[in-house]
Amino acid sequence: MRIAIVDDESLFRRQIDETITSLYGKGEVSCFHYSDGESIIRSFKTGFELDAVFLDIEMKGLDGMETARAIRSYSKDIPIIFMTSHTEMAMDGYEVGAFRFLGKPVDKEKLRETLKDLENKIKVEEKIVLKVDGEDVIHPISSLVYIEAANNSTRFVFTDDSAEIRMKFAEGMKLVDGVSKDFFKCHRSYYINLARVSKLGSGDVNMDNGDVLPVSRSAAADVKQRLFEFIRRTGR
């Protein structure tokens, strides 16, 4: 696994590197050090491939949030693990799809849990299979932003694609539930991926692909509760 460690403190970078290496063992993981946001963005520009980014929020120049937004322009799905002493910033990290938040100083056991979840995500990315024009089309469930009721069909909206399938909306929700438990019905016509929510309003919800979807009055309180439960459970 190839991991970037982005922090303006060289001592902290070495400590995280040593801890990760001790948990994995030499040869199982490679850590690449970056002292600021600009340097890791340059790596993405050159096409350098990474499996995950451990990113400090408070840095000189580009801060962690700005760096994460720039990273998302190159990769929508690479796991970003924020490291910060200000855990109240978790909601800000949600808009860039943070994989986890780790408080500083980093607890070794929480880091171990994060690495385990990270490895599972990388090795076993759950998929959803749709029948499109007679062919099976496979998508990672993480790329599904939401599904929408469309007359007698269901529209599946992904980060970079969409497909309208001849099936009832209830059947579409059941198909999704068989792969992930992180979806919620915010409206009679919309079933959203909580991991793809960027902002929750009083009567609508912004998804990270730019779509703004309605939230019914009867579902508003439950959406907020489920969203915060999801953040607490995943650290996003």
Q: What is the pLDDT of residues 12-69, one digit of tens each?
A: 999 999 999 988 766 678 899 999 999 999 999 988 888 899 999 988 889 899 999 9
What pLDDT score was predicted for residue 92?
Answer: 63
Q: Which CATH architecture has domain 2-123?
A: 3-Layer(aba) Sandwich (3.40)
Q: Which of 149, 184, 183 is nearest to 167 (CA)?
A: 149
Instruction: Tell me the percentage of the chain whose pLDDT exceeds 70.
Output: 91
Looking at every residue in the chain, the average pLDDT score rounds to: 88
- Cis, peptide link before residue 79, omega less than 30° from 0: no
- Interhelix angle 64-72/37-45, rounded to 10 degrees, is 10
Reported confidence tier of residue 181, pLDDT bands at 50, 70, 90: confident
Q: Indicate whether 8 pLDDT > 70.
A: yes
Provide, rounded to the nearest whole percent, the portion of the chain with pLDDT above 90.
54
Instruction: Specify the higher pLDDT residue, 183 or 123.
Output: 183
Mean local confidence (pLDDT), 103-113: 89
Query: Is pLDDT above 60 for 85?
Result: yes
Say how many Å lie between the first and final Cα of the chain, rounded: 21
**Which has more pLDDT, 125 or 224?**
224
User: For residue 235, which phi and psi values (nearest 5 degrees)?
Assistant: 80, 15
* For residue 235, pLDDT beyond 60: no
pLDDT (tens digit, 9 = 90+) per residue, 186-224? Answer: 999 999 999 899 999 989 999 999 999 999 999 999 999
Let me know if the fold of 2-123 is the same as that of 127-234.
Answer: no
Q: pTM of the full predicted structure?
A: 0.54
Cα-based distances in Å from 182 to 12, 173, 197, 208, 218: 34, 11, 11, 15, 19
| Amino acid 160: pLDDT | 85
Asked whether the predicted pLDDT for residue 125 surpasses 80, the reply is no
Superfamily of domain covering 127-234: LytTr DNA-binding domain (2.40.50.1020)
Domain ranges of the chain: 2-123, 127-234
